[in-house]
């Protein structure tokens, strides 16, 4: 059986809480949060207020016992620490770093001159006081085993100062600081911010709780000094003197959750309960989500080494966020959560828990799948994380995905053939110029969406209805996996002139517009390769964009500097449209005119031979 952690509480200035009120408040808060009380926990709360007044003891500051990570260990261990911090952030569902300010820092600076805070000044500037306090604390803790440290006010400074001086056999399962002044430069004893640029090897995680009514916390968290830890804002009384009291912090549920997890693990009632879905049909947004996750997992299977580690970590976070977003959306709609969605959930609070793979399935018709697979192949599925994956890996994974979708592996191969062909049209010199890159729509898609009235466009075949897309984007936003895929999938196949207007927006970069044109051209080429009927709205959008861009360029060019950024962007946008229209015309992919003698417009595109670029 694993050894249970002990608890060390380090007090701030004053008498040192002689009645141990901190223990009463924290124990009650633990029970309220669903954890056991402190009755069975070995606790230590050494008193050192007498030493803070000044001491004649001639001691040296305890030596550093915890070595830094080796160069080989540093990267993987730093990543493991970030996994644990992310799990704590998810567990607490709360993160506020704080803004700080000159006034707040001044309050702390003035407080240091108050006789009541002479104790703090003594610890910071008198070596034998600091040595005596650290020695007394070390004499009152176990020499081995797990420990959770809670530090209040000056006690938080002592706690961080203590970390690297603990016995080597002691593992800090969690550090919880409350009302900490560590963001104030005066409390940087021994240049702690320089020394602890990375977490020490004996620390599992560190969460700091602060209140914007607590003057000692300087109206900010500690992450401004130690960016690798987690700051959480809580409420304490408005009266500044009471706002800083340890019992006010320790009575907070979030503080109790952090301490309780460090001591007992995931025993809280809010972590035990698990949602159960029911077997109901998925809507278009949910199908897209599962298919996208499936593709990302197929990519992950082919990766190795450090790239696999990073991709897995990113995908793990994207998946948990996606499932949570879908749950929120379903509950807002007062609709049950499908079993297939719930099956993809996992305990993110456990850093070692694996993200489950979606099951293969969800068949599409070949023609309806065009926009979906182009969006999947071209977009960054792990946004906001960016990890370059080789084209052959993505291609192999997509071939496997399209086979599972009932389209055949050749379908996935032709998707990349179409994307490559479209890229060569827009960047004919060399694709190595990286004119086009995966997920290049990015934030620029927001401008296009905004310019089209919230993407009130025709729905992309194979995705979902226009109303569903608009609703989904309102829930997820244009960024992220779902928002990005829905935006991309819709932009490549929706008409009505809205996209052309969006492309004209100054907020739409040339790179974002090139991405839209790239995707649209790839759709045309893929339809041609598969023998599907073409959609004339793409040509209409492009020609409308060409007219508007030409007019705008003429208007701006006459008065602006020759190398003005606005002129350069307009020219780059126009070049991408012109190259695409030329390619469509040269390869018989231009819409036919009205049928001769009929007086009616022809609804389909001419079916010609494969594009020249693809002929063998």
What distance lies between CA 375 and its chain's CA centroid? 21
- Say if residue 386's pLDDT is above 50: yes
- Say if residue 409's pLDDT is above 80: yes
- Say if residue 317's pLDDT is above 50: yes
- The C-alpha atoms of residue 380 and residue 484 are separated, in whole angstroms, by 8
Give the three-class secondary structure for 176. strand
- The C-alpha atoms of residue 151 and residue 126 are separated, in whole angstroms, by 20
pLDDT tens digit string along 426-435? 887 554 444 3
> 484 and 505 in contact (C-beta within 8 Å)?
no
Lowest-confidence pick of 223-232, 346-355, 413-422:
346-355
pLDDT tens digit string along 125-174? 899 999 999 999 999 999 999 999 999 999 999 999 999 999 999 999 99
Dihedral, CA atoms, 608, 610, 612, 613, nearest 10 degrees?
A: 150
pLDDT of residue 256: 96
> 288 and 485 in contact (C-beta within 8 Å)?
yes
What architecture (CATH level 2) is domain 6-51+72-262?
Answer: 3-Layer(aba) Sandwich (3.40)
Length of the chain: 616
- Is residue 189 within a helix (H) or strand (E), and if so which, with residue range? none
Question: With bands split at pLDDT 50, 70 and 90, how would you rate the model's confidence at 274?
Answer: very low
446-449: Cβ within 8 A, 24+ apart: 446/478, 446/479, 446/507, 447/502, 447/505, 447/506, 447/507, 447/508, 447/512, 448/487, 448/491, 448/499, 448/502, 448/503, 448/505, 448/508, 448/512, 448/516, 449/473, 449/478, 449/487, 449/502
Give the three-class secondary structure for 270. helix
pLDDT tens digit string along 182-233? 887 677 777 888 889 999 999 999 999 999 888 888 677 888 889 999 999 9
pLDDT exceeding 90 applies to what percent of the chain? 40
Question: With bands split at pLDDT 50, 70 and 90, how would you rate the model's confidence at 346?
Answer: confident
- Say if residue 25's pLDDT is above 90: yes
- Give the CA count within 13 Å in the CB-facing half-sphere of 45: 18
Question: With bands split at pLDDT 50, 70 and 90, how would you rate the model's confidence at 113?
Answer: very low
**What are the boundaries of each domain within the chain?**
6-51+72-262, 354-614
Give the three-class secondary structure for 326. helix
- The C-alpha atoms of residue 304 and residue 546 are separated, in whole angstroms, by 45
pLDDT tens digit string along 356-368? 999 887 777 888 8
Q: Taking the model in full, what pTM does it have?
A: 0.75
């Amino acid at each position: 059986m694993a050894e249970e952690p002990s608890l060390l509480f380090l007090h701030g200035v004053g008498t040192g809480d002689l009645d141990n009120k901190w223990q009463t408040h924290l124990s009650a808060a633990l029970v309220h949060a669903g954890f056991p009380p402190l009755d069975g926990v070995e606790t230590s709360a050494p008193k050192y207020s007498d030493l803070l007044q000044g001491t004649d003891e001639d001691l040296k500051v305890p030596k550093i016992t915890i070595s830094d990570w080796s160069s080989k260990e540093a990267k993987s261990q730093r990543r493991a620490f970030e996994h644990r911090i992310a799990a704590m952030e998810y567990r607490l569902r709360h993160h506020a770093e704080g803004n700080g300010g000159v006034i707040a820092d001044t309050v702390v600076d003035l407080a240091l001159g108050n006789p009541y805070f002479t104790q703090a000044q003594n610890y910071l500037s008198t070596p034998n006081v600091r040595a005596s306090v650290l020695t007394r604390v070390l004499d009152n803790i176990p020499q081995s085993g797990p420990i959770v440290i809670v530090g209040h006010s000056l006690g938080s400074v002592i706690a961080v100062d203590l970390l690297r001086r603990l016995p080597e056999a002691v593992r800090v399962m969690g550090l919880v600081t409350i009302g900490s002044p560590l963001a104030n430069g005066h409390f940087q004893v021994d240049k702690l911010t320089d020394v602890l640029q990375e977490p020490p090897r004996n620390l599992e995680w560190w969460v700091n709780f602060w209140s914007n009514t607590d003057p000692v916390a300087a109206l900010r968290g500690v992450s401004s000094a130690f960016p690798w830890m987690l700051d959480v804002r809580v409420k304490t009384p408005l009266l500044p003197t009471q706002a800083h009291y340890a019992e006010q912090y320790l009575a907070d549920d979030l503080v109790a959750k952090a301490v309780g997890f460090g001591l007992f693990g995931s025993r809280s009632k809010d972590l035990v309960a698990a949602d159960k879905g029911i077997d109901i049909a998925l809507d278009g947004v949910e199908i897209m989500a599962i298919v996208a996750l499936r593709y990302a997992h197929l990519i992950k299977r082919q990766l190795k080494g450090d790239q696999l580690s990073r991709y897995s970590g990113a995908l793990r976070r994207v998946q948990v966020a996606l499932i949570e977003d879908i749950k929120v959306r379903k509950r807002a709609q007062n609709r049950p959560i499908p079993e297939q969605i719930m099956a993809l959930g996992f305990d993110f609070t456990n850093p070692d828990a694996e993200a489950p793979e979606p099951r293969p399935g969800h068949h599409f018709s070949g023609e309806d799948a065009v926009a979906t697979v182009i969006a999947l192949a071209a977009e960054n599925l792990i946004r906001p994380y960016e990890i370059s994956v080789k084209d052959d890996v993505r291609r192999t994974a997509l071939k496997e995905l399209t086979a599972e979708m009932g389209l055949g592996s050749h379908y996935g191969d032709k998707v990349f053939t179409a994307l490559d062909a479209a890229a060569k049209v827009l960047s004919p010199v060399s694709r190595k110029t990286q004119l086009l890159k995966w997920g290049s729509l990015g934030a620029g898609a927001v401008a296009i969406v905004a310019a089209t009235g919230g993407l009130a466009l025709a729905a992309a075949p194979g995705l979902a209805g226009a109303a569903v897309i608009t609703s989904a984007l309102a829930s997820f936003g244009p960024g992220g996996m779902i928002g990005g895929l829905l935006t991309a999938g819709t932009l490549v196949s929706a008409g009505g002139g809205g996209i052309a207007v969006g492309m004209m927006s100054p907020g739409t970069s040339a790179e974002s517009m090139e991405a839209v044109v790239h995707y649209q051209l790839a759709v045309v080429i893929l339809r041609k390769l598969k023998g599907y009927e073409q959609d004339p709205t793409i040509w209409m959008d492009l020609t409308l964009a060409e007219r508007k861009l030409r007019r705008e360029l003429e208007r701006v060019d006459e008065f602006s500097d020759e190398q003005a950024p606005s002129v350069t962007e307009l020219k780059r946008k126009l070049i991408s449209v012109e190259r695409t229209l030329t390619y469509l015309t040269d390869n018989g992919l231009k819409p036919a005119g009205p049928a001769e003698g009929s007086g009616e417009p022809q609804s389909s595109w001419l079916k010609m031979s494969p594009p020249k670029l693809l002929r063998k």
